[in-house]
Structure formats: C-alpha cells, structure tokens
Structure 1
Amino acid sequence: MSEVTPEMSKRFPGRRLSIFRLTVLVAIVAALVVGGLTGFRWWQDEREAERSTPWFASYVDVTATPAHPFESVADDEPRHAVLSFVVAAGEGACEASWGTHYSLDEARQGLDLERRIARLRQAGGDVIVSFGGLLNDELALACDSVDALADEYRRVIDRYELATIDLDIEGAALADERSRTRRAEAIAQIQQEQRDAGESPVSVWLTLPVGSSGMPPDAVATVQSFLDAGANIAGVNVMTMNFTGAEAATGLAEVIEGSLRATHRQLVALYTDHGLSVGDRTAWRMVGATPMIGQNDVVAETFTLDDARALNAFAADVGLGRMSMWSANRDRTCAAAYVDLHVVSDSCSGVDQGDLRFATVLAAGFRGSPDHAAADAATPPPPVRPGEITDDPATSPYPIWDEEATYPAETRVVWRRNVYAAKWWTSGDQPDDPTVAATDHPWRLIGPVLPGETPVPQLSLPADFYPAWTRGDVYVAGDRVMLDGIAYEARWWTQGDNPAAVQLDPGGAPWVPLTQDEIAELLSEE
C-alpha cells in the first residue's frame, strides 16, 4: 500500500478519514445493505402472497337430515363447499366412511354424492373433503400403520378427484401422539408419490381448535408434526368458536381477531424453528377462520351478522387466506315452532337473519378457489343446442323421461344426460323446461350422468308377494297389498280407495308405494 505524501495532503486538504467518519460511513453502507435486503424480503413476501387468492367455502354436513343441496347455487352465492366428515367406518375400522353411516359406494347410491359433486363443478365450484371432526373415530386413530392410513386417504382423494383436503383434528385425535405422527407421515407419503408421478401434490389444510391466546399445545404439536414429516400444508384453519370466556359473550369479534393474530404469530414461529422463513403477508395467507354461525355450543356465545361483518373486514385488512363457517346446513333463521333458540340446531342458526345469509357476508371479497391451478386451467365446454343432446338407455342409470308416462314423487329419470327426481306426482312436464320457475317445477335436477354408468336395476316384488288389493275389503295402517305389480302400504284405515290414486294426491292418499330400499330389504330376507 502506498504512503500518503505531504504533496498529496496539500492537494486534498481535510480529506483524511477520521475514525468518526469511518464509523458513519460503515453505518450508512450497512443501513443501505439492510434496507435493500429488507426491501427485497418485503417484495418477495408480497409476491408470494399474491400467488394465492383468498377463498371461501362453507362446511356442509353431508349426512345431516334434512339434506343440504350444496350442489344448487345461485349466481350470487359462494360456489365451494367443504364436505364433512369422512371418518372410520366403526371403532378401530380402518375404512373410510361418511359419518359411519355410508361407505363410499353407499354414498354414491344413497346420497347421489358423486353426481351432486359433478353438478357443482359444472357450475364453477369445487369441493374439499374434510376428514375427522369431533364425533366418531378419525382415520388416523383407526388405522394402525402409515401405509394403511395413506391407502384410505388416497382412496377418497382419487374417488372424488380432490385437489384440496381438510383434516379436522379435534377431540381424542388431537391428543393422540401416535396417530399425530401417522397422519403427517401418510400425507407426506401421498404428496411425494404425486410429485414422483409428475402431479401436483394435494393441498392440505389443518383445521384445529383455538383459544383467545392462540392454538393450544396439542394443536401446535400437530402443525409441528407435519413440518417434521416434510409434509406441505397449505395453511391452518382455526375453529373460532366456543371460547367460553366472558369477553366472548360481549365482544366475540374482538376475541376472534385476537385468536387469529395469535395463530399468525405461532405459525411464523413454527416455520422459523424449522429453518423455513415465511413473511408476514405470506403467513396470513396460510391462516383460515371458521366461526360457528349463530348460537354456539356455549350458551352465552352467539356469532351474529354484525360479528360476521367485523370478521370479514378484519380478514380483508390482514389478507386472511381462507374463510369457512359451520355450517351451510344452519345458514337460515329457525322456524317459529323451534322455541328454545339456545339449543343448538343442525338445520338453523338460532338468530334472526332476515333475508341475509352468513355465507354471503363472510364470503365478500373471497373470490379465489381452493385449487387455483385447476381453476385457471378449466376450459368451458363448447355450447350445445338442447336438441343435439341425446340419451342412450345403455349408459343411463335411470329410465329416460317419457312425455306419456306418469311419475310418482321421488321417481328418477334421465333427460338430456342429466338425472332428475320428481318432487311430486307429474306427467307430461319436461324436466328441463326453462319457462317454469324452480319453486313450481315438479322436477329437481340432481346432476349429470357420470362416465361409465349403466342402468340401475329397478327392483320389484313378485305379483303374489302380498294379497291383491280388493275394492270391498277394509285395510288399516300397515297393511300391504299388490296392484298391477306394485306393492303399496296403507297409511290409515281405508276402504274402496284405489292405491294407484296416490299419484293424483301423494299427500292425501291413504296408500303409499314401497320404496326401492324397502323392496331391496324384503328381497334380501327371502
């Protein structure tokens, strides 16, 4: 290094770098570097967050009665649904079922589930299947190995062509450490298999309990188990309900907001502990909220429409990634006959909603899809004139509609590659008549004819299975007769009333035809 000479000092007077100036210079350079890195990280965080659009989907209790028509959506209604719950078929049974009531095959027939899912997808919506819930055994509890559990998850994912699933982990499943590990490793296995096959791995949301100060330890450990197993999670959806504290009874919206902020902090900390950095905005996209609309299980806690508005505004402000609610089945005002509104109903909210729906309020601004890639890639089919659509009896599950035939209530037919069910006795009414209002139309659209379908066998009893109906005989409630090959059961005392007249007055006739399920049960006993 050359020496500073007197001549150089004369040419550049006062330029000698003091310790103070050097310190200031280093601080300025450091600030510029840190600021640049901070700015880059902020830009990266914003870019990552914008890759996803917040989405809304109501939970639907698939096996509840009365059934909720999730497949029928108006133009201004949210189009996505979280179908719940897939659980073990019985205690210790490593077999997927819908609420223990239906196997996957039985749900296809008894609930027409796959046809209804297809119809929702035709309307631009999609479904997420939720595994678990509070009641019944979660599959990870019933299956004793990672491979067996992965097989059951995969069966459901493949059958319903799912891009996103929801794991609702609560109750006994939340505290069980062995099932916690099995669950995470099974999902990691499935996602790796999909990557190896060149497919997009299934997106997984964890639905977990939360308190006013954040997720409880078992919920935190559940998230950690997925990170430990190398499984990718799309986010954590917390059940913002049943807080039990006095503050929740008077300021529920504020308590929910606090619980979400705490969840956000926990999520950032969990990823940081695993050496994975997530920005503030990206982390908010990984947080979801699911309130229980109306009257909660805690008597003093009621989630009102004002609470819904406040939660939606907060979600928009922070960029929450997902909004759901429990449940679409309950999104209506209870009838006047339902007296005690503090008793939680499965089919109404327990609050006066007027003409509003919680789903509409909560979903405002949530325009995304759980499966963004599939939504972007979807191509609408080319338009087809109705007259160009023909039905093939060999690929139709039910008889093709005939203008001359008569159809009692619940009779199913195929028309222009869609399946319809009669709401009441009808004859000559075209199932897809666009000039009749839905409330006045005798047919209810169920969904499209599915690929690979064949005619469903229509069961019938032998002509002499029950005594033939005789006009002069007296019949009492429960008596069964045969007329023209059809079995009927008396609803009350009757004499001289032709059983076939039920088609003219289904509600007032003394006779009702036996259903296909009743006939199947009788034939199985033979």
Structure 2
Amino acid sequence: MSSATHRISFRRLAMALVVALAVTGGGLFAYQAWASNQADPAPDPWFAAYVDVTATPSYEFEAATKESGKEVMLSFIVAAKNDGCTPTWGTAYTMDEAAVSLDLDRRIARLQQQGGDVAVSFGGLLNNELSTTCTDSSQLVNAYDSVLDRYASTTIDLDIEGRNLSDTAAGERRAAAMATLQQARRSAGDDLAVWLTLPAATFGLTEEGTTAVTQMLDAGVDLAGVNIMTMNFGQSLADGETSGAASIRSLQETHRQLGVLYDLAGIELTDGTIWTKLGATPMIGQNDIEDEVFTVKDAVALNEFALEEGIGRMSMWSLNRDITCGPNYADVTRVSDACSGVAQGDLFFADVLAEGFDGKVASSAKTITTEEPTDPSDLVDDPATSPYAVWQEDASYLAGTKTVWHRNVYQAKWWTRGDLPDNPVLNSWETPWTLVGPVLEGETPITMPTLPAGTYPGWDGASIYEEGDRVLFSGVPYEAKWWNQGDSPAAFSSDPDGTPWIPLTTEEIAALATGGATGEESNLATAEAQG
C-alpha cells in the first residue's frame, strides 16, 4: 500500500494553497530559496546509475552488494497512453500494477532497508513525459507528488529529450509544476531536489536545452543541477576524439553555459558552485551510434576530470548493461539492453565511475541554492600583476592574442575589436574569446616582442598588391589574399570576408619577431598596435 495515504495533511494542504495562489495570481510564483546571503556547504558528490525498470530480463537492483549499486535512478515514469495525467512505468504498468507484476515496491523497500536509496526519473526519449500530455496544473502536480510519495523519494530527475524537449508549452507547465511542488514540500519541512537531465553535444546544451533551464529558473525552481547525457555526440565529435575526451569537452561547455544562464536569471554563483550543479551520464560500452564506444578507459578519464572539477553527480546508462556480452550475443555493435558490447573483464563501469562519489542522493536533496555575490574588488585588473595587457575597448586584437579581463586570461580566436571577453553568450561560437584561466598569484607582465622596424612597408593606396604581399597598417601587419589596389586594410574590421586583406596571427608575428620561433613561444608575441 502506498505511503501517500499517510502523508496527506499539512503538505498536501500547503500544496493546494500554492496551486490556488499561482492560478488566481495569473502566473507563476517566484520562489527564491536562495535569498540567504551565505551559501551552505556543497553536498558530497553522489553516484546513482539508471535502472530500466521495465527492461527484460529484470535487473535485480535490490540485490546490490557493492556501494556503486546502492543508489539507483529508476526510469522512466511517463504518461499513460489513455490518460495523460496518470503516471506509469514506460506505459506498461501503473504504479499499482508494477507493485504486483514487478514486485517493485517491495524491492525498493528492501534496498532502502540495506542503506540504499532510489530517485525517480521522469520522461526519456520514447514516451510522453507527464507535462507533455497533462495540461491541468493541479492534476499535474498531484501526479508528480504521488510518485514521490509512493517511493519515498526526495529527488526528481526530469529526463527531457525529443518531442518532450521541443514542446515549449510543456516545458512551461513542467517548470510551474516543479516550482509548486518544491515550495509546498519545503514549506512542510520536506526536501525536494529537482534535476534536469538533458542531451548535449561537445559544444554543450542545445538551444532547446538552455530554454528548459531558463524556464525552470524563471519559474523560481531551485535547480539542484543539470545532468547532461554525455553520449550520441555524432557530428560534433572531433576526428579521433575519444568518448571520454568528448564527454569532458561537453561538460566544460555546459559549465560555461550554466554560468551564463544563472547570470541572466540574476543569480550570482561562483564557478565552483556551478560545477556542483553539473552531472554526467555516459552510455557505457557500445553507443546507439555504431562508431561511438565508451570504454572503461573513457570512464577512468571522465571520473578523474569530474572529481578534479567537483561536479555534483555521476550517473550512467545503465546498470542493466554493466556486463560483458556473452558468446551467444553475436553482434556487439548492436546495442543491447542487457550487456555493454565491450570486453570489461572483471571491471564494472559502475565501480569506475562511482569512485570518489561518496555522497547520498537524500543528503544532497537538502541543499538550498544561495547567492554568492562577487566582491567588486575581485574584478579589478592591475597591469602590474597581469601577465598580458588589460583588455581595452578601442584596441584591435589579432587571432591568438592574449589579454586580461576581470582577473582572467582570454585568447582571441580571430581578429576582434570592442568585444567584451566575458560577454555572456550561450554558444562558444558567438564570442571571439576563449577563457584560458585565472590570473595566478605573483604573476607579472610578460615582455612582448615586436616586429623589427622596416619589416614591411606601410600600406599605400596607390600601390598595386599581389596575393601574399604584406604591409603595415596602423602598426598591424596584413597579408593580401588577392590582387588589389586602393583597398584599405581598415575594411577588415567591418567586412573581413570582403576585404582583400587579413591580419597576421600572433603566431606568425612571433615567428618574425623571434627569428622563426613557433608553438608555445609564439604566445609571447603580438602586434605593436594591440594596446
């Protein structure tokens, strides 16, 4: 029998009141749980692998003997086919039916008796997440709440992908429901962590993914974090890049995006806190894309990076698959629900990925996000303690040039002028700058070599220039891309593709200034006109 029948008084009453206020107020409330001026200590990072509840053969998560299997993410709760507001396991079982056919309630209770715990994941790729089909706000909140009550879970994982992610109206309903549910539970003294699990490429979240995060923050949801699916990278995977390296790159870009999204929401958080709000979920072994394989070596690399940066959560898809395929499984490039498709030997992906993730799902659910305002003095740049020149709005920067801004070092990806290095853009291709890292304590200015006098003649509007000719214009060396006469290099700033001139990179300038030096040495050189 569900525990929901014993928890209906104060919290249910509070929830009904919150729903009523949201409806009569004509919009979503903004529950700002982060109003405190002091942030709570970050919870210990935790590991909970996904278990496909309805897969055959059934995975016996309740029989876990190792710590890496004691905390599980049960998946997926979705809407019933004949009732958009009724939660089911994969449309195959209602919760009552799962209790009988799968003995699910008893198995969860057994795991919890042994010190383990469960969280529940809603959505997935194949079926309708509740918010996609349930349009009544009260029924929707009650549907989510009934699942949490049934399985005594303090964490909701929203695995939103496919049509569930592209449906903007569903996203707004989902965010409103999470805000209502979270406020009601916290008002009643209960914990509720809300995680978004979203697809990602090596460039980070897609536009639909960043929209989903924004919807949650705008609704006032205190997001525990964003867990990205480090899988199915497809065309965003670089030539020769391993799945582990691609996963790391995806986390780095999502970290930058998440920082921007919180900034845009008016919530100041440190980089370290943003890392605690990130999770990673690789698909172990053979991926859906035939050429993508996540090996044990990839798992080691991802785990080491995650621990170094301090991400808050590690998961994987799935415990059902964490075993070498048997000899009767002929085609290991075809994804199986019951084995990984790679030779694991005596190792288990769960053990490798869980190393160092010693926290508990329930403990992390107690965390309330608090703002961490930046001290304005931390953003003041001192030329005397900066390795590179401090960024200036009216200066021109060649590709490869490094500059200092707000105590960080940035490097130009292409010629730029007037573009703020820390301009909050969601996609890395929208900015000409790459963040290299912070200015280190004790640094002093690096001496910059300059071009020897007379290296190139000054540009002359009457002269004819052939492809490959080089000139100096306003102190910056340019090279002709094609024959031209009377075309000023100044046009490059407004029409870089249409002008026949292109500025040399700092690497090219360094080679000239140092008599042929390249590589790392080129980072010490720049044009005279940079500042």
Question: After TM superposition, is the score higher than 0.5?
Answer: yes
Within 5 Å, which residues of 2 pair with 1:129-208? 129-197=120-188, 199-208=189-198
* CA-to-aligned-CA distance 1:148-173 (integer Å, 9 cap, x gap): 21111011011111111100000101
* Distance change (3 Å), C-alpha of 1:72 and 1:162: same
The offset of 1:78, in angstroms, is 3.4
> Is the 2:195–2:226 Cα contact (8 Å) retained in structure 1?
yes
Q: Does 1:217 align with 2:221?
A: no
> Is the 2:191–2:366 Cα contact (8 Å) retained in structure 1?
no
* CA-to-aligned-CA distance 1:230-261 (integer Å, 9 cap, x gap): 11110000000010135276422111111101
The offset of 1:48, in angstroms, is 4.5
The 4+ residue runs of structure 1 with deviation greater than 6 A are: 373-376
Where does residue 283 of structure 1 map in the other structure? 274
Within 5 Å, which residues of 2 pair with 1:392-411? none
Aligned-partner Cα distance in 2 for 1:369–1:298: 32
* Distance change (3 Å), C-alpha of 1:334 and 1:249: farther
* Distance change (3 Å), C-alpha of 1:322 and 1:76: closer
Q: Does 1:228 align with 2:218?
A: yes
> Is the 2:196–2:226 Cα contact (8 Å) retained in structure 1?
yes
Where does residue 352 of structure 2 map in the other structure? 361
Look up the SS of the partner of 2:172 in the other structure: helix
Q: Does 1:64 align with 2:55?
A: yes
Alignment equivalent of 1:90, drawn from 81, 95, 109: 81
Structure 2: segments with no counterpart, 5+ residues: 1-35, 368-531
Structure 1 counterpart of 2:258, one-letter code: L
* Distance change (3 Å), C-alpha of 1:248 and 1:138: farther
Look up the SS of the partner of 2:62 in the other structure: coil
TM-score, normalising length: structure 2: 0.60
> Is the 2:131–2:140 Cα contact (8 Å) retained in structure 1?
yes
Aligned-partner Cα distance in 2 for 1:357–1:201: 32
Structure 2 counterpart of 1:202, one-letter code: L
Structure 1 counterpart of 2:203, one-letter code: S
The offset of 1:195, in angstroms, is 2.8
Within 5 Å, which residues of 2 pair with 1:304-383? 304-372=295-363
Look up the SS of the partner of 2:179 in the other structure: helix
* CA-to-aligned-CA distance 1:30-53 (integer Å, 9 cap, x gap): xxxxxxxxxxxxxx99x9474310
Alignment equivalent of 1:295, drawn from 269, 286, 301: 286
> Is the 1:91–1:142 Cα contact (8 Å) retained in structure 2?
no
* Distance change (3 Å), C-alpha of 1:227 and 1:76: closer
* CA-to-aligned-CA distance 1:459-486 (integer Å, 9 cap, x gap): xxxxxxxxxxxxxxxxxxxxxxxxxxxx
Q: Does 1:242 align with 2:244?
A: no
Larger CA deviation: 323-332 vs 68-77: 68-77
Look up the SS of the partner of 1:290 in the other structure: strand
Where does residue 113 of structure 1 map in the other structure? 104
The offset of 1:124, in angstroms, is 1.1
Alignment equivalent of 1:100, drawn from 75, 91, 112: 91
Where does residue 259 of structure 1 map in the other structure? 250
Q: Percent of counterpart pairs with the same letter?
A: 50
Aligned-partner Cα distance in 2 for 1:156–1:87: 11
| Length, aligned pairs only | 331
TM-score, normalising length: structure 1: 0.61
Where does residue 455 of structure 1 map in the other structure? none
The offset of 1:92, in angstroms, is 5.5
* Distance change (3 Å), C-alpha of 1:169 and 1:113: same
Q: Does 1:272 align with 2:272?
A: no
> Is the 1:88–1:142 Cα contact (8 Å) retained in structure 2?
yes
Aligned-partner Cα distance in 2 for 1:91–1:249: 47
Structure 1: segments with no counterpart, 5+ residues: 1-43, 377-526
